[in-house]
């Protein structure tokens, strides 16, 4: 009798446990799996994307120039040559130490008597305006600004008046073909070609 009752108790306690465990766990696992997927989708959509790495800015270096163009005013007998005022524009290419700043190098050479008198006689800025000296040149937005120091020598009239502007302007454009305007400054003040008649 006692043996039969003990066996019944053991059987009765094991059967509910097997039934409960077999029907509950699949549901719990399904809920956990669905919750994990939903959390992953929500977090991937709401969280900001990682910023792209910042690349260093590209740097450009101006090419070196080993020659520049100097402009002289004279008359070499070419009827088709370009003229400025009463004079013909004569362009001479000269060697210079390699430089990324051809405008600077051109004006340094143009205002250097030792350089230019051997290349072309009658360099106006050296022979007629020796009291002027080249200071610097800037080139911004296709505008070349040439800064001179010193004093302007007396001008001789209609033909002589535009020569300073002509030689400097044409030299700037020869070395910076994209330049649309050339402005000259003497001791910080803008230079304007005087009007007048003369030789």
Note the pLDDT tens digit of each residue in 24-56.
555 555 555 555 555 555 555 554 555 555 555
Instruction: Give percent of the chain above pLDDT 90.
Output: 36
**pLDDT at residue 21 above 50?**
no
Measuring CA to CA, how many Å separate 162 from each of 73, 76, 78, 100? 11, 19, 21, 30
Helix axes 102-110, 163-175, angle to 10 degrees: 150
Q: DSSP assignment of the chain, as one string?
A: -HHHHHHHHHHHHHHHHHHHHHHHHHHHHHHHHHHHHHHHHHHHHHSPPPPPPPPPPP---PPPEEEEEEEEEE--S-TTS-EETTEEEEEEEEEEEEES-HHHHHHHHHT-HHHHTTT-S--HHHHT-TTEEEEEEEEETTEEEEEEEE-PPPP-STTTTTHHHHHHHHHHHHH-TT--EEEEEETTEE--PPP----
**pLDDT at residue 180 above 50?**
yes
pLDDT value at residue 176 = 94
Token pair belonging to 95: 């060697």
Mean pLDDT, the chain, integer: 75
| CA distance linking residue 105 with residue 100, whole number of Å | 9
Average of pLDDT values for 1-17?
A: 43
pLDDT value at residue 10 = 41
Q: How confident is the model at residue 66 (pLDDT cuts 50, 70, 90)?
A: very high
Q: How confident is the model at residue 8 (pLDDT cuts 50, 70, 90)?
A: very low
- Which stretch of 34-48, 85-99, 119-133, 174-188 has the lowest confidence by average pLDDT? 34-48
The pTM (predicted TM-score) of the whole model is 0.65
């Amino acid at each position: 009798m006692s043996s039969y009752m003990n066996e019944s108790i053991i059987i009765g306690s094991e059967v509910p446990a097997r039934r409960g465990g077999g029907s509950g766990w699949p549901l719990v696992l399904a809920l956990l799996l669905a919750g994990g997927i939903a959390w992953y989708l929500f977090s991937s959509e709401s969280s900001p994307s990682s910023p792209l790495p910042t690349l260093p800015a590209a740097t450009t270096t101006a090419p070196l120039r080993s020659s520049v163009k100097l402009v002289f005013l004279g008359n070499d007998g070419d009827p088709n040559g370009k003229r400025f005022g009463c004079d013909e524009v004569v362009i001479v290419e000269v060697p210079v130490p390699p430089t990324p700043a051809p405008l600077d190098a051109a004006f340094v050479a143009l205002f250097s008597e030792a350089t230019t008198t051997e290349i072309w006689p009658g360099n106006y800025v050296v022979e007629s305006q020796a009291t002027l000296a080249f200071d610097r040149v800037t080139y911004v937005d296709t505008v070349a600004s040439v800064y001179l120091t010193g004093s302007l020598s007396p001008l001789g009239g209609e033909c002589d008046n535009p020569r300073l502007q002509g030689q400097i302007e044409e030299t700037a454009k020869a070395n910076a073909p994209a330049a649309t305007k050339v402005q000259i400054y003497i001791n910080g003040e803008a230079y304007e070609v005087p009007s007048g008649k003369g030789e």
